[in-house]
Structure 1
Amino acid sequence: MPTYPYETVDVFTDRRFGGNQLAVFTDARGMSDAEMQALAAEMNYSETTFVLPPSDPANTARVRIFHRTAEMPFAGHPNVGTACVLAAHGRDRDGLLLFEEMAGLVEVKVTRDAAGLVTGATIAAPQPLSLGLTLPVDAIAACVGLAPEDIVVSRHQPQQASVGVKFVLVEIKSEALARAAPDINAYRRLAQANPVLEGRLSLFLYAWDANNARARMFAPLAGTWEDPATGSASATLAALTLSLGSEEAVAFEITQGVEMGRPSLLHVAARRGDGEIRATVGGGCVPVLRGEATL
C-alpha cells in the first residue's frame, strides 16, 4: 500500500496553535481524486493541499486544494502554507514559487529570518477583482443571527466578489461582529432562492477599526462553520475597498479568528493597473506536525 507524507502548519500567525491549520501532502502522485477528498475530510481542517508535478516545468508545482466537501479553485492560507512547506524543502527559486491551480497561476514570495528559516509568504491572487450579485440585507442578517440594522450599507450592499474564488463581503457594525453566529437553515433558504450561487455561500463579515479591519467568515454549507483566517476573502476585501474609492492602491491589516481562540493577522494590498484591480495577501506560517497516510 502506498504511503504519502504530510506536514501541518499554522498560517497567518507567528506561533503554534494560532492562525489557520493546514495539512500539506508534499507528494500526491498516484493519489485519486476520491482519496484526496477523503483525506481532506479526515483532516477536518478548513483546507488540505496536495502537491503534484507542474504541467509547465517553469512552475514549481500543481497544487490541488480541498476543503471538507469539495475542491477549491483557489484559496489563501493553503497557498501561503504550501509555499512555506515547499520552500523549507528548498523548492523555491530565490524566494519565489509558482503554483498551477484551477483559478490560474499563483505567484508566492516567501520570507526568511536572519538564520534562513522560512517565516511566512505573500501570494498574488490569480484573477483581478470581479463582482457578482448583491444579496438582500435581511436575508444576510438572518444567516448570521444579526438584525438588518447591524449591516452597514453606506459603502456597499452585501456583495459577491472574487479574485479567484467567490465570497459575499458584508460590512457590519463593529459591536455586532462578536454576536454573529451562522444559522444553517437561513443559509439554505438564501442559497435555494439564488441558484446562481450554485450552492456556495461563504459570508465574510468585516468591520473597520480605524484604518484596519476585523473579520469573521462562515461557510456552513461547505462544512466550515467558521474559518480562523480566510486569505482569499481578505484579498478580495482589499480589492473591493480599492474599487470603492479613487486611490491607486490600498494596504491594511485584517485580524480574524479571535472569537475562535485562533487569532490571525493578514496583510492585504490592492493596486490598479491596466484597467484591473489586483490583490495580494500575506502573513506568517509556523510548522506544527509531520506524519504519513497509508492508502
Structure 2
Amino acid sequence: MAQRRYVVLDVFTTRPLEGNPLAVVLDSEGLDTAAMQRIAGEFNLSETVFVTPAENPAHSAAVRIFTPGRELPFAGHPTVGTACCLAARRFPDLETEMDAVVALEEQIGLVRCAVRLVPGAAAYAEFDVPRLSEMGEASFGPKSAIADALGLKPHEIGFENHVSTVWSAGNPFAFVPVAGLAAMRRIKVAPQHWTEAFGPATPGIYVYCRETLFHDSSFHGRMFAPGLGVGEDPATGSAIAAFAGLVNDFDDLPNGTFTYRIEQGFEMGRPSLIDLEIEVEAGELTAARIGGHAVKVAEGVLEV
C-alpha cells in the first residue's frame, strides 16, 4: 500500500466551493487503469486526474483523466486545474505575479498551458485546444422529442438560426440551443426520452442560450452526461472547445480573433465562468483557446 498525495481544486472560479471540483492525484506511479477508475469512483467528482512523470523530460507531466464511469482522452477543467496545480507547486514561495508554462502529455496529445500565478489569489490557465472542433454526425429525433427529453416545450428548442448539432474537439457533444434563461432554469432531464431525442449513442448534451446573467458573458450553458456518470456538470471545458466550431458556423464570423465568456453551473449552485478565444480565417476556425481560474480547496494523502 502506497501513500499518494492529492489536491482538490475548484476550477473555472476564483472562489472556493464554486466552479467544477477536480481531484489531482500527484503520485500515480504503479496504478493501473482499473485502480485509477476505482479511485475516480471514490472521489466521485466529474473528473479525477492522475499525474505521472512525462515520457519526454522537456514536458511537465503525463496525465490521465477519468470520470466516475470511464477514461477521457482530453477534458478542459482537468487541464486548467492540473496546470494551475503543478505551476503553483513549482513556485511555492511566490512573492510577485509571474507566468509559467506547463506542458501536459494527455491521451489526445501534448497540451501546452500558459499559467498566471498571483500571490494569495487563484491562478489562471489558458491552453490551445489540441484538436480543432469539427461537426459530427447527428441522429436527433424531432424537436418534440428533444423537448420531452429536457422537460421543455417544442417552441423553446432553438433560437435565431441555431439548431441542434453535434460537434467534437476530442469528445463529442450534442448541442441544443434553447430560447433563454427561463427555459434553461426549467430543464428537467427525462432519460426515458433520450434515445428517441439524441440517438442510441447519446453523448454529453450541452444546452445553451444567448441570454446571460452577466453583461460581459456571451452564452449561458448546462451540460448533462448521465452515461458518463455525471448527472450535470458545473463546467465543461471540452464542450466549450467543441462549441468554438458551432459559434463560427452559426454566427458566420468574419476574419479575426473573437473572445467569449460562457456561464455554466449556476443552476447547480456551482457558478463557473469559462473563457473561449477563437481565431477565424476565410470562414474556417484556425485556433481556439480555453481559459479559466482554479483555486485549491483541499489536499491530503490516499493510502492505496
State the TM-score, normalizing by the size of structure 2: 0.88
**In the alignment, what sits opposite 2:94?**
none
Query: Structure 2: how far apart are the matches of 1:44 and 1:169?
Result: 25
**In the alignment, what sits opposite 1:215?**
221
How far apart are residue 156 of structure 1 and its match?
Answer: 3.4
Query: Structure 2: how far apart are the matches of 1:46 and 1:150?
Result: 28
Aligned residue-pair number: 289
**Does residue 166 in structure 1 map to residue 196 in structure 2?**
no
How far apart are residue 159 of structure 1 and its match?
Answer: 1.0
Aligned pair partner of 2:203 in 198, 201, 204: 201
Query: Structure 1: how far apart are the matches of 2:211 and 2:197?
Result: 29
Structure 2 unpaired stretches of 5+: 92-97
Structure 1 unpaired stretches of 5+: none
**Does residue 104 in structure 1 map to residue 109 in structure 2?**
yes
Q: Secondary structure at the match of 2:210?
A: strand
Contact 2:69 2:228 in 1 (8 A): yes
Aligned residue identity for 1:202: G
Q: Deviations over 1:75-110 (max 9, x none)?
A: 11000101111111118x951111111222212111
How far apart are residue 246 of structure 1 and its match?
Answer: 3.1
Aligned residue identity for 1:33: T
Contact 1:10 1:17 in 2 (8 A): yes
Q: Secondary structure at the match of 1:209?
A: coil
**In the alignment, what sits opposite 1:253?**
261
Identify if the C-alpha distance between structure 1 residues 5 and 188 changes in structure 2 by more than 3 Å, giving closer, same or farther. farther
Query: Structure 2: how far apart are the matches of 1:27 and 1:266?
Result: 28
Aligned pair partner of 2:248 in 242, 249, 263: 242
Which moves more between the two structures, 266-275 or 33-42? Answer: 266-275
Identify if the C-alpha distance between structure 1 residues 116 and 239 changes in structure 2 by more than 3 Å, giving closer, same or farther. farther
Query: Structure 1: how far apart are the matches of 2:73 and 2:155?
Result: 34
**In the alignment, what sits opposite 1:182?**
189
State the TM-score, normalizing by the size of structure 1: 0.91
How far apart are residue 144 of structure 1 and its match?
Answer: 1.5
Identify if the C-alpha distance between structure 1 residues 94 and 19 changes in structure 2 by more than 3 Å, giving closer, same or farther. closer
**In the alignment, what sits opposite 1:286?**
295
Q: Secondary structure at the match of 2:278?
A: strand
Q: Which runs of 4+ in 1 moved over 4 A?
A: 188-191, 273-276
